[in-house]
Amino acid sequence: MERYTAFDLELANRYPSSICAIGVCVVENNRIVDTFYSRVKPVPFISESGHYHIHQISEGKLAAAPTFDRVWAQIAPLFNDTVILAHNIQQDALALRATLDHYHLTYPNCDMSCTFVLSKKLLPNCPSYKLDGIAAYFNFRFSHHHALEDAIMCYRIIRKIKSIYQLRSLDELHELIHVQYGRMADQYYKNIYMSDIASNQEMREEEGKDTNHFLFHQCICLDSIHVSYGTVIKDYITLAGGFLQEKVNINTNYLISAGKTDTNNYKRAYELMQKGQDIQIIGLTEFLQIINENTWVGS
């Protein structure tokens, strides 16, 4: 039996802990079996005009709303030991973790999937990969930026993509495009790659690539690598099916470092690692040894 939880968050201001609404849609065997919606009193309690313009939730409504810890007590079981799904889940996962951290609550134990990533890979003719753009592509109607309606739209998009490809589960969709689930657990976070490598997310020829290679579909940032090594390293990563980044961010899986610990990329990687993100730092010498031992990375 397939079971997953689609969800959406709205924020009251620029701070990731400022969740002001949450919508949840629980799916079993391709059908909705439970839903939940609540406004949330945000932290900090600030309503910024740009965010209000998006979701139209007033300060008065937020002042009367329960705090997130009270809401989480009701819905935490819906996020534990399951797959959670959102559109641009990196953003929603960041907000969820920031708010859980504020209330000293444990992260749920779950895998993570994303309608943006799956749509980008599996709907090559869709003119826009925003949630409302995909909905329009399928002629689906909904009230965008209402958290529950957005969560349900994620479910409807996945159901439609499954139908197009005649597949039965999220697992099969991920296997089809060779994209691993993200992962969240207590003091642990592993991302599912996202927007800054969107140019690499087109369906592309994978013949000759080893899908079990540790760099396959991983985000790799090179930090202070001398140009004399750079070309060799970049070619190796490309042949392995990896994605190169200029800056470390919440998508990064590996930092290849020349040993300088005072660079912005190294500091950012360390900061994200302290927050539980699964980033591995590999020294230049060690990585060159890996290249020498694996001169051909194809199957």
pLDDT digits (tens, 9 = 90+) for 156-207: 999 999 999 999 999 999 999 888 899 999 989 888 865 445 444 444 455 5
Output the six-digit token pair for 67: 């705090």
CA dist list (Å): 11 to 38, 86, 143, 153, 209: 13, 15, 17, 19, 41
* Strand bridging mode 110-114 / 19-28: unpaired
Please give the Cα distance from 225 to 299 (Å, whole number).
Answer: 28
pLDDT score of 243: 86
CA dist list (Å): 235 to 169, 200, 228, 238, 295: 35, 15, 13, 5, 11
pLDDT score of 242: 86
CATH architecture, domain defined by 219-293: 3-Layer(aba) Sandwich (3.40)
pLDDT 10s digits, 77-93: 999 999 999 999 988 99
Residues of the chain with confidence (pLDDT) below 50? 195-196, 198-204, 296-299
Q: Which amino acid is at 228?
A: S
CA quadruple 96, 100, 105, 106: dihedral positive or negative? positive
Contact assessment for residue 116 and residue 182, using Cβ atoms and an 8 Å cutoff? no
* Predicted model pTM: 0.83
Q: Which helix (DSSP H) or strand (DSSP E) does residue 131 occupy?
A: helix 131-137
Q: Which of 252, 235, 253 is nearest to 298 (CA)?
A: 235
- The phi-psi region of residue 160 (left if phi > 0; otherwise alpha if psi is between -120 and 50; otherwise beta) is alpha
User: Domain-by-domain residue ranges, the chain?
Assistant: 3-200, 219-293
* Strand bridging mode 182-185 / 110-114: antiparallel
Rg (the chain; Cα; Å) = 20
Q: What percent of the chain has pLDDT over 70?
A: 92
Exposed/middle/buried for 66, CB within 10 Å: 0-12, 13-18, 19+? middle
pLDDT score of 73: 98
Backbone angles phi, psi at 34, to 5 degrees: -160, 145
pLDDT score of 291: 86
Please give the Cα distance from 146 to 110 (Å, whole number).
Answer: 24
* 161 DSSP assignment: H
CATH number of the domain located at residue range(s) 3-200 in this protein: 3.30.420.10
pLDDT score of 292: 84
pLDDT score of 193: 67
